[in-house]
Structure 1
Amino acid sequence: MKKQFDEHIIDEGFFGQEINMTNFNLARMNMFLHNVNYNNFSIKRGDTLISPLHRDEKPFDAIVSNPPYSIKWVGDADPTLINDERFAPAGKLAPKSYADYAFIMHSLSYLSSKGRAAIVCFPGIFYRKGAEKTIRQYLIENNFIDCVIQLPENLFFGTSIATCILVMAKNKTENKILFIDASKEFKKETNNNILEEKNISAIVEEFRNRTEKEYFSRYVDRAEIVENDYNLSVSTYVEKEDTREVIDIKVLNKEIEETVKKIDKLRASINEIVKELEDE
């Protein structure tokens, strides 16, 4: 998380929390590798959902998160969590089997009124029913969702699934959501697909300009999303390009006719040969 963000200058440093010891140490090491002074970051170890450790530093202007996909958490087994200021606004807790929206609501709570949050998500959270739909409806009705970006498959080590980026903001001026299908924006490597600079530029340019491009992006009114039962799957709004070969039926029919003529001619020749053999 970045406390203050303006013209690519970070005023008050980086803040983060990680429960896994290995990832916690890697995050701290990453700060040093990028020449971030020890005084300019605060990365703490702990359970983000149950014991958030940066309450005093919030809100944040830029939040980036890649939480574990659809892991279990305590959920409504702890009745006090529904009163937590992070989860209470939606009126529903994320299901115990899927903590995705708990992480999303946490990020939203820590987001400033002028900031943006970008969260890497499992695609299923955009169409699943039950409590997740209730929370999704809350986010849509309150105009917090800015954009959903479908990423290519096989981008991350350890999983081949195609993930998405959910972008949230609290200062939107239009009741619309941008959907970008970037599933084809990648370069194939030996073991993983990668995003090249040109792929990233294409995504960022469309995010900024919102021009709408066929088979790539659509800027959708909230009313249409409500009609689709609050479904936020990119494929619901951005049509996939049909890359199958276009067949000219007239040409195909003529080719079949020619083939049939050749077969008939060949059959006649075979019949003549058989007849000659029978006469001998």
Structure 2
Amino acid sequence: MSATGTPIAVITGASSGIGAATARHLAAAGHHVVVTARRKDRIEALAAELTAAGHLATAYALDVTDRAAVDAFAAELDRFPSVNVLVNNAGGALGADPVATGDPADWRQMYETNVIGTLHVTQALLPALTASGDGTVVVLSSTAGHGTYEGGAGYVAAKHGAHVLAETLRLEIVGTPVRVIEIAPGMVRTEEFASTRFRGDEEKAAKVYEGVAEPLTADDVADTITWAITRPSHVNVDLLLLRPRAQASNTKVHREV
């Protein structure tokens, strides 16, 4: 915790969407949030917003796929008395092509961000989380990590990797003062996820949510993440899948016409 006894929470991919919403929710719950992402202007604006609201926030530009940068970031965190929470949120999807024609570069990028990026930051911060005496690692996976769908194999493979990372880490560090929580959202409508997946094609992005009355929002997921983190220390939410009521599975969605 900080010198004032405030728990420190690191959030990756905090420049928009679920990451930014999680920073707001954790700050409101009393955490000093350290927000990281590649887009320095976005996280600095977020940190300024939170500070203006009376919260504690620090921005740090970071590419989680760059191990040297991650290690340098971990060293910077030594100035805090402890690190209590890590939310591995950085990730994302690229393309919706079938296996037969999928771009290996897209697959590689998704794996590097969703899995290797999570590995980098978790490895770098795990000693500090353990030393805190009450640490929490959150892996934001997806329902895609628990079931596949046509056109999603690259993203599904990456999120299955994130799921297995969390599940295995939990087995390996049992008995230490660190919890491992996996939050797996289904259909979430944020300002960038689908647009990024379809490389700015807003028409394709809109079709993902077409006819769905109420997809999840970034705030819905952030509220869930914060709830899991703020359970008593002996309570571990191993895995929590959440979907909008209109989504029964990755392939079964009610759409109003």
TM-score interval, normalised by the smaller of the two chains: 0.3 to 0.5
Larger RCO (alpha carbons 8 Å, 6+ apart): 2
**Whose radius of gyration is greater, 1 or 2?**
1
**Quick check: which one's helix share is greater?**
2
State TM-score, norm by structure 2.
Answer: 0.42
State TM-score, norm by structure 1.
Answer: 0.39
**Quick check: which one's strand share is greater?**
1
